[in-house]
Amino acid sequence: MTISVYVPLVVTVLLAVLAPRVTRQRAPRPAAWSLACAAAVTATGWLGSLALLAFTAFAQIPEVAEEGHWSVAALRTHDPVDLSVAAVSALALAAGLVSLGVASARQVRHLMWARRECGRMPGDTELVVLDDDIPQAFALPGAPGRIVVSRGMLRCLGDAEREALLAHERAHLRGRHHLFQTVWRLAAAANPLLRPLAEAGAFALERWADEEAATRTGSRTVVARAVGRAALASAAVARPAALAATGGAVPQRVQALLSPPPPPRTLPFAAGAVLLTLCCVSLANAASDSENLVDSAEHACCAATPHVQHGPGLCTESCGADERNEHGKHRS
C-alpha cells in the first residue's frame, strides 16, 4: 500500500499539468471525451487515495479498534504511513467532499434553472429570438434544449454567419455539452488541482461546436468570422451561465478555424489511457492491501486473547479496549 496509494495522486498532478497543453492541439471531440474521462477517474482516484491514507489514522483510534475488533499495535507495526500524513489526508478528504457536495447542489440548481427558462421561452420551436438590442446568443440545455438569440446579435451578422452561429449552438445541444461541463466542475470541486482540466475542457467544447458548424456550413472562414463578430459585439455584455458561441479563448478559436482541421492522433490519448489505467490498478491494489492489513490486525487481536471463545472469523475480545487500558497504565 505504501507506494500504490500515492500513484493516483501522482497521476492526478501529471494529467493536470500535461493534459491541457496536449489536448488544445488535438481534435476537439476526442479531446473533450478524454478530458472528461480523465477528470472523472482522477477525481475518484484522488478521493480514494485520501480515504485510504486517512483510514490509517482513523483505524488506530482505540474506540474504533474496539468496534472493529482489530489490534491497534498490529496496525501501527505493519502500516508505515505517518500519522501526520494520514491526518492531512483526512482534512483534505473532508474539504473535498464538502466542496463536492456544494458543487453538486449548485449544478442541480443550474440545470433546473435552465429547464425552467426553456419552459418560459415563447413558442415551441428550437430557436427563440429575443426582442432585445443587446447582442447575445446561447444554448439552454433541456428536454429539448433551446437556442436563444437576440435581435441585436442577428443584426451584427450576415446571413451565412447567422447560419454558422446557429449551427454552433445546435452542436452544443446535440453533443449534450452541459454534461461534460458538469463532470469537470464536480471534479474540480473535489480536487482543485483539476481546474486546468475544466478550463481546457471548456475550450475543447467550443472548438468541438466550431468544427461541427464548419462541417455543416461548409466554410471554416465563415464560422471564424461569425465567432469573431459575435464575440466583439457581446464583449461588454454579461454572459449567461450557459453554452455560448462567444465563450472560450476566441482568438485561439478563430486561429484554429483559419487553419486546416487538426489531424487525428492516437498516441497522446493512448498515453493518457495508460495513466488512467495505472491510476485505477494502483487504487485497487492499495484498497486490497488495506483490507489485508485490517484482516491481519483482526487475527492479531484474536491471537492475543486465546482464552476467549471466538466465533468463525470473528474476534469477540475488545483489543481496542485492552490497548487503551494498557496505554492508561503506562501514563499513570
As a whole number, mean pLDDT of residues 6-30 equals 85
Per the domain annotation, does 134 fall within a domain? yes
- Give yes or no for residue 153 having a pLDDT over 50: yes
- Would you state the pLDDT for residue 271? 80
SS (H, E, C) the chain: CCCCCCHHHHHHHHHHHHHHHHHCCCCHHHHHHHHHHHHHHHHHHHHHHHHHHHHHHHCCCHHHHHHHCCCHHHHHHHCCCCHHHHHHHHHHHHHHHHHHHHHHHHHHHHHHHHHHHHHHCCCCCCEEEECCCCCCEEEECCCCCEEEEEHHHHHCCCHHHHHHHHHHHHHHHHCCHHHHHHHHHHHHHHCHHHHHHHHHHHHHHHHHHHHHHHHHHCCHHHHHHHHHHHHHHCCCCCCCCCECCCCCCHHHHHHHHCCCCCCCCCHHHHHHHHHHHHHHHHHHHHHHHHHHHHHHHHHHHHHCCCCCCCECCECCCCHHHHHHHHHHHHHC
> Which residue type, as a one-letter code, is found at position 145?
G
Per the domain annotation, does 13 fall within a domain? yes
Domain count, the chain: 1
pTM for the whole structure: 0.81
Between 318 and 146, the higher pLDDT residue: 146
In the predicted model, what is the mean pLDDT of the chain? 81
- pLDDT tens sequence across 272-316: 888 888 888 888 887 876 777 667 666 666 665 554 444 444 454
Per the domain annotation, does 27 fall within a domain? yes
Of the listed ranges 122-131, 149-158, 195-204, 308-317, the least confidently predicted one is 308-317
Between 156 and 240, the higher pLDDT residue: 156
- Give yes or no for residue 208 having a pLDDT over 90: yes
Per the domain annotation, does 2 fall within a domain? no
The band of 32, judged by pLDDT with boundaries at 50, 70 and 90, is very high
- Would you state the pLDDT for residue 316? 43
Per the domain annotation, does 1 fall within a domain? no
Domain that holds residue 311: 7-331
Judge whether 233 and 153 are in contact, CB under 8 Å.
Answer: yes
Per the domain annotation, does 164 fall within a domain? yes
Per the domain annotation, does 215 fall within a domain? yes
Judge whether 16 and 193 are in contact, CB under 8 Å.
Answer: yes
- pLDDT tens sequence across 61-96: 777 666 666 666 666 666 667 778 888 989 999 999
